[in-house]
Structure 1
Amino acid sequence: MKYLEGRKYVIQAIFIAIGAVYLIKLFYIQVLDDSYKTAAESNAMRRVVQYPFRGLVYDRNGKLLVENTPVYDLMVVPKEAKAIDTLKFCQLVGISLPEYREKITAAKKYSYVKPSPFLQRLTNEEFASIQDNLVDFPGFYINARTVRGYQHSSLAHALGYIGEISPRQLEDTTYHGYRQGDYLGISGLERQYEQFLMGKRGVKYTMVNVRGIEKGSFKNGEYDTLSVAGQNLVTTIDLELQRYAELLMSGGKVGSIVAIEPKTGEILSLVSAPYFDPSLLTGKELGNNYMKLLRDPTKPLFNRPLMATYPPGSIFKLAQALIAMQEGVLTPETGYPCNWSLVKCSHRHPYPGNLNIAIENSCNPYFYQVFRSVVARGRSRNVYEDVRLGLDEWNKHIKSFGFASSLDIDLPGEKKGMMPNARFYDRIYKRDGWKFPTIYSVSIGQGETGVTPLQMANFAATIANRGYYYKPHIVRSVGENGKPLPEYSVKNYTSVNPRYFPPVIDGMQLVVEKGTGRNASLKHIGVVVCGKTGTVQNPHGKDHSVFIAFAPKEDPKIAIAVYVENAGGGAIAAAPMASLMIEKYLTDTVKTKYRKRWEFDMINGSFYKWTD
């Protein structure tokens, strides 16, 4: 009996121990461990990303260039999107059943439990038509965000556009912090200043019921974080001048206009023609519109001021003169005959008795002989080595003007262009296989030379400043009371002494007053314009019309380069177009009937009937 009595106590002790274990476990689960509570709350909690307002963009006068407009993304959590009437849903949002299956499969592939975009960039009207019916489709909800909007149709190439981050970019550590569905700058200022414009996203937690209906904030917003808006940009662009430049380059023209303030390097106008409305690359139709622009044979997406390279033509004669004076082989009084046996001259003119007359008449034989005096002047007894040494010395000078190198403008995609050196010709002809007659075309800005319109405008600004330039830039300040990036406040000096610039500038004044650039004169408003025409040979058709200038001669306010492809001589299209731009900028209007007639001809393309 005692044995049975002992077994009874043992069994009781076992039951008591088991009960104690259960009680302790229940106490731990209910009081100490909150993981189950958190899991339960998570099932009724939705994490909504609060996208920041992207920074706004203004012109130099405070006019809004880029704003934010609201759009709505239809988000989906695949785990919650069960037992819905898919046919009814497709009718509601305006997609087909195969499209639904494709999109829901993509969402599941990204994450079964995390939200991802199902339909993006819904307009206000589309949002209004579906919002009240989403209650019948658990797992789907609306997330508001903004896209870019424009109150104008200008400056598309410089402003750029934004788009959704790609899967490849998400795998790139450069884009750490971005997530699927985020937008970022793809081109232009949007890309270059992404780190300032993007802002910082926030998060909002809301309570939802089993049907996905919001029931208020989670714990009164204790865990919410506010989004931080991006910083605004103030650009150097004059919107009214930009619109005017684009108007002049309309009507099917192909080319560029770049206008710079010489004292600062600030870009006043940057035109690439043909151009397009920046609003085409925003909103729901971005992809379709981009492909249309990409397939357009006129290449409207091609940013010609930064990416197109042309021979500089006769404009290059100014650089040849400056380098020759620096090298001590030319003076303002030096005269060379207009010898057609060396190279033909496109202008009939008197004997060029000095540098000014040669610049005024754009004498090819004169600058042939100037260039020869620089690169083939007896540095070595070997004729081949002499030219090699001379060309390399010339190349160092020419690069100091910003040619054949990046000017580091604050826009992506800038091309360096090309200027030959001895090594370049060695690769083509082998060492001692070339000499001066092989390369003489470089003397008049043809041959193996290539410059961008931006570089030519910067060249005009450099001459206006008598020997230095600020790197061209398109943003004046970042954020409230901000300043431009430090590198745009540094003077970049050429290798040519400032005392050699006045004779060249005097020659440029004669070009406009009496020479090939008379169509650029602004005597009627009392402004002295200094310029140089160029006719760039084009093996594929009619020559390109080129002109650079700055004004006024003393205390220059604007420097400009105009390229009009297939328009003939520089005096035909580029020179009058540049003068209209300068007059518009300096006086805010275009005066006199004949000037307005020029304006009409430019806009309507009837300048093609003019003669040089």
Structure 2
Amino acid sequence: MRKALLPSLIILATSLLVIRIFYLQVVDETLKLKSENNAIKKKFEYPERGYIYDRKGKLLVANQASYDIMVIPRELKKTDTLEFCQLLNITKEDFIKKIEKAKIYSPRLPSVFMSQLNKSEFAAFQEKIRKFEGFYFQKRSLRDYEATFGANIFGFITQVNEKLVAKNPYYNSGDLIGKQGVEESYEDLLRGIKGVKYVQKDKYNREIGSYKNGKFDTIAVQGEDINLTIDAELQKYGEELMINKRGGIVAIEPQTGEILALVTAPSYDPSILVGRQRSKNYTELYHDSIAKPLYDRGLLAEYPPGSPFKILTGLIGLQEGVIDENTSFFCNHGFSYGRGRFMKCHAHPPAQQLHNGIYNSCNTYFAQTYMLAINKYNNPAKAVDIWSNHVKSFGLGQYMGYDLPTGKRGKVPDSKTYKKIYPNGGWRSTTIISNAIGQGEVLMTPIQLANMMATIANEGYYYTPHIIKKIEAHTIDKKFTTRHVTSIDKKYFKPIISGLFDVYNLGTARALKVEGIDICGKTGTAENFAKIGGMRVQLKDHSIFVAFAPKDNPKIALAVMVENGGFGATIAGPIASLMIEKYLRQKITRLDLEKRILATSLQSEYAKLGGLSEKVKAQLRISDSIKTQKTIIPTAKVKSDSTTRIKKVI
């Protein structure tokens, strides 16, 4: 029995091996396709990318036909280089350079020789392509933008790099991929699935038909269509209001966390990053270190939040029991807090309680509240950590987890922060009192400010902000429908909301009321410093405004940040009122505010930053001339208007 065991194992193993070899060589022919078989050519069929719609079903991004000229270096024959270059309007040096680059990638695999030809360019080349062996064309689809706004939301399409090709087997050299915005976030859904055709060739390298009658061919599957949470009309209006200004507007639906508008200024027309001029235009945008049109200020710019942060100071004071609604502090246009330190305040009646402290934006009231909270435990490190955790429960000081590929954490200091700043100790409530009014070490992005207001509107909870509303045959990520509850009890929000409501009735925004809409808001002004010529110079303050409406059952919460805009009620406040009315009514009654904001240019303030090139100065002159217009430019109808395009890029 033992003697038979070893031979039996050998026979069994040999039999299994023979069966496997027979299967691979005779039955399963897929390995033939993976071999370097010169008789089989692999052709890809590229699907259309999925369409992009707004929350109401309005088409924002579609597709248009495009053609790439491909080259297989090994198959090149004697080519009339002069005729070839004339057809494509390139130099002989360009031709040689592109061929050498293709050889480096692979002599036997196709590479993109020239990408994104339009129909007329392709037609001229197609007539004579038979004369240029080794070249063929590949049909693709490029983006066709139905909107001249929202560039930062959409992102753009570009060619994959070699590093990504090596990392991800789906992509080949010359393939297109989404970058930035939803094009990047939802690339796997929008791109679709490539189709593959295997073509057999004869000994003369001529195509003689499909391999195995198309047995292994697959068809392309179009990308998934998606609906965004964006309201197209609100987004367009926000970008128009921000012409000749820098900053961001973020609007959120409090009950869902859906992003209604995500405005960054300056911006650009998304169509300039399509076609053969894409690379040139992108390079110009990328190297504009002054206006930074590719920099999404709504998601990336970190600012001191200023007075809107007093809302959180008041809530934490109530939660920690150091104040109640009737607690009073005396303010005589300022507050002394030791060692000759003095915090200025606005002109208002001296006796301040929570309600009028909010609508008068009293620095003294909230500085006193903050000091009481930090001094409560006779341990500044413990107290500031408790304060920090309260603030972070609003989604601040951390990445928010929204479905866009870029963002910043902002900054909410804690005891570790101050141990680094003051390694020898000695810091206390008076040292860090600027945090009380949104200065100091506190930094927030506009989307964090907007989410903070959505949380206030909901009386203590929020949903992670997101920009995807619907994908056919897919469910939205559960994290966008998960409620996040703050560390502040619900009962403390009502007195805060009452004070915010009277900001419009009795306080700093009373001139910004919209008849028939109950708006709760808060003005803000943040100090602004910049390095000019190696010196730290204080520039005009940033204008900030946060709001939600209506007061009961809120439908929109938003934050507006205008760089160098001055007092919050001057520029950011009117923009907030206009955005709210536009969304809730789809029309504007405060035409006085609209006219003033459209006519306001801050380019002279930005010019103080220095280093403006002659080209930028020329653009600024064109841009400033637009401010004399009395009506809003209908951006959806001016794709070919070069003046409008320039003013959006500034």
Residue 113 of structure 1 aligns with an amino acid whose one-letter code is: R
Q: 1:81 aligns with which of 76, 86, 111?
A: 76
**Stretch moving more, 207-216 or 545-554:** 207-216
Aligned partners of 1:314 and 1:206: how far apart in 2?
Answer: 68
Aligned partners of 2:175 and 2:153: how far apart in 1?
Answer: 22
Q: Which residue pairs with 1:9 in the alignment?
A: none
Q: 1:67 aligns with which of 40, 62, 69?
A: 62
Q: 2:118 aligns with which of 123, 142, 149?
A: 123
Instruction: List 4+ stretches of structure 1 deviating above 6 A.
Output: 208-213, 606-609
* Structure 2 residue 277 is matched with structure 1 residue 285: yes
**Shift of residue 431 of structure 1?**
4.4
Q: Which residue pairs with 2:48 in the alignment?
A: 53
* Structure 2 residue 579 is matched with structure 1 residue 581: yes
Aligned partners of 2:169 and 2:182: how far apart in 1?
Answer: 20
| 1:346-425 mapped onto 2 (5 Å cutoff) | 346-377=345-376, 379-380=377-378, 386-425=379-418
| 1:142-541 mapped onto 2 (5 Å cutoff) | 142-172=137-167, 175-206=168-199, 217-250=210-243, 252-296=244-288, 297-339=290-332, 340-342=334-336, 343-377=342-376, 379-380=377-378, 386-478=379-471, 480-522=472-514, 524=515, 526-540=516-530, 541=539
Alpha carbons of 1:489 and 1:341: their partners in 2 closer, same or farther (altered >3 Å)?
Answer: closer
Question: For 2:329, what is the secondary structure of its paired residue?
Answer: coil
Q: 1:135-160, CA deviations, whole angstroms, 9 ceiling, x for partnerless residues?
A: 11111111101111201111111111
Question: For 1:542, what is the secondary structure of its paired residue?
Answer: strand
Q: 1:485-507, CA deviations, whole angstroms, 9 ceiling, x for partnerless residues?
A: 11000110000000000000000
**Shift of residue 571 of structure 1?**
0.5
Q: 1:210-262, CA deviations, whole angstroms, 9 ceiling, x for partnerless residues?
A: 88776654554333210112212111000011000000001x20010000000
**Shift of residue 96 of structure 1?**
1.3
Aligned partners of 2:57 and 2:67: how far apart in 1?
Answer: 29
C-alpha contact 1:519 1:575 (8 A) present in aligned 2: no
Question: For 2:138, what is the secondary structure of its paired residue?
Answer: strand
Identity of aligned residues (%): 45
Residue 495 of structure 2 aligns with an amino acid whose one-letter code is: P
Aligned partners of 1:400 and 1:292: how far apart in 2?
Answer: 41
Unmatched 5+ stretches in structure 2: 1-25, 337-341, 531-538, 605-650
Aligned partners of 1:401 and 1:508: how far apart in 2?
Answer: 18
Residue 46 of structure 2 aligns with an amino acid whose one-letter code is: Y
Residue 485 of structure 1 aligns with an amino acid whose one-letter code is: D
Residue 522 of structure 2 aligns with an amino acid whose one-letter code is: K
Alpha carbons of 1:170 and 1:44: their partners in 2 closer, same or farther (altered >3 Å)?
Answer: closer
**Shift of residue 598 of structure 1?**
1.6
C-alpha contact 1:509 1:530 (8 A) present in aligned 2: yes
**Stretch moving more, 88-97 or 467-476:** 88-97
Aligned partners of 1:458 and 1:589: how far apart in 2?
Answer: 25
Q: Which residue pairs with 2:553 in the alignment?
A: 555
Residue 532 of structure 1 aligns with an amino acid whose one-letter code is: K
Alpha carbons of 1:405 and 1:38: their partners in 2 closer, same or farther (altered >3 Å)?
Answer: closer
Q: How many residues align?
A: 561
Residue 544 of structure 2 aligns with an amino acid whose one-letter code is: V
Alpha carbons of 1:135 and 1:207: their partners in 2 closer, same or farther (altered >3 Å)?
Answer: farther
Aligned partners of 1:233 and 1:335: how far apart in 2?
Answer: 53
C-alpha contact 2:245 2:601 (8 A) present in aligned 1: no
Q: 2:108 aligns with which of 100, 110, 113?
A: 113
Q: 1:456-500, CA deviations, whole angstroms, 9 ceiling, x for partnerless residues?
A: 00011000000000000000122x153321100011000000000
Aligned partners of 2:297 and 2:512: how far apart in 1?
Answer: 23
**Shift of residue 443 of structure 1?**
0.9
Aligned partners of 1:501 and 1:38: how far apart in 2?
Answer: 66
C-alpha contact 1:136 1:211 (8 A) present in aligned 2: no
**Shift of residue 209 of structure 1?**
7.3
Residue 236 of structure 1 aligns with an amino acid whose one-letter code is: T
C-alpha contact 1:137 1:211 (8 A) present in aligned 2: no
Question: For 2:128, what is the secondary structure of its paired residue?
Answer: helix
Q: Which residue pairs with 1:7 in the alignment?
A: none
**Stretch moving more, 185-194 or 391-400:** 185-194
Aligned partners of 1:121 and 1:70: how far apart in 2?
Answer: 9
Alpha carbons of 1:519 and 1:473: their partners in 2 closer, same or farther (altered >3 Å)?
Answer: farther
C-alpha contact 1:260 1:266 (8 A) present in aligned 2: yes
Residue 589 of structure 1 aligns with an amino acid whose one-letter code is: K
Q: Which residue pairs with 2:9 in the alignment?
A: none
Aligned partners of 2:331 and 2:556: how far apart in 1?
Answer: 33
Alpha carbons of 1:608 and 1:101: their partners in 2 closer, same or farther (altered >3 Å)?
Answer: closer
Aligned partners of 1:183 and 1:337: how far apart in 2?
Answer: 64
C-alpha contact 2:548 2:557 (8 A) present in aligned 1: yes
Alpha carbons of 1:266 and 1:584: their partners in 2 closer, same or farther (altered >3 Å)?
Answer: same
**Shift of residue 276 of structure 1?**
0.6
Question: For 1:560, what is the secondary structure of its paired residue?
Answer: strand
Aligned partners of 1:410 and 1:366: how far apart in 2?
Answer: 38
C-alpha contact 2:353 2:365 (8 A) present in aligned 1: no
C-alpha contact 1:203 1:227 (8 A) present in aligned 2: yes
Alpha carbons of 1:79 and 1:514: their partners in 2 closer, same or farther (altered >3 Å)?
Answer: same
Residue 584 of structure 1 aligns with an amino acid whose one-letter code is: K
Aligned partners of 1:226 and 1:499: how far apart in 2?
Answer: 59
Aligned partners of 1:92 and 1:210: how far apart in 2?
Answer: 30
C-alpha contact 1:520 1:529 (8 A) present in aligned 2: no
**Shift of residue 170 of structure 1?**
2.5
Task: Report the TM-score, using the length of structure 1 for normalisation.
Answer: 0.88
Residue 97 of structure 1 aligns with an amino acid whose one-letter code is: K
C-alpha contact 1:315 1:548 (8 A) present in aligned 2: yes
C-alpha contact 1:58 1:233 (8 A) present in aligned 2: yes
Aligned partners of 1:608 and 1:461: how far apart in 2?
Answer: 32
Task: Report the TM-score, using the length of structure 2 for normalisation.
Answer: 0.83
**Stretch moving more, 278-287 or 362-371:** 278-287
Alpha carbons of 1:263 and 1:38: their partners in 2 closer, same or farther (altered >3 Å)?
Answer: closer
Aligned partners of 1:187 and 1:212: how far apart in 2?
Answer: 41
CA RMSD, Structure 1 to Structure 2 (Å)? 2.4
Question: For 1:442, what is the secondary structure of its paired residue?
Answer: helix
C-alpha contact 2:245 2:603 (8 A) present in aligned 1: no
Question: For 1:568, what is the secondary structure of its paired residue?
Answer: coil
**Shift of residue 47 of structure 1?**
2.3
**Shift of residue 308 of structure 1?**
0.3
Aligned partners of 2:432 and 2:357: how far apart in 1?
Answer: 21
Question: For 2:581, what is the secondary structure of its paired residue?
Answer: helix
Residue 138 of structure 1 aligns with an amino acid whose one-letter code is: E
Aligned partners of 1:357 and 1:87: how far apart in 2?
Answer: 80
Alpha carbons of 1:494 and 1:71: their partners in 2 closer, same or farther (altered >3 Å)?
Answer: same
**Shift of residue 519 of structure 1?**
3.3
Question: For 2:77, what is the secondary structure of its paired residue?
Answer: coil
Residue 69 of structure 2 aligns with an amino acid whose one-letter code is: L
Q: Which residue pairs with 1:3 in the alignment?
A: none
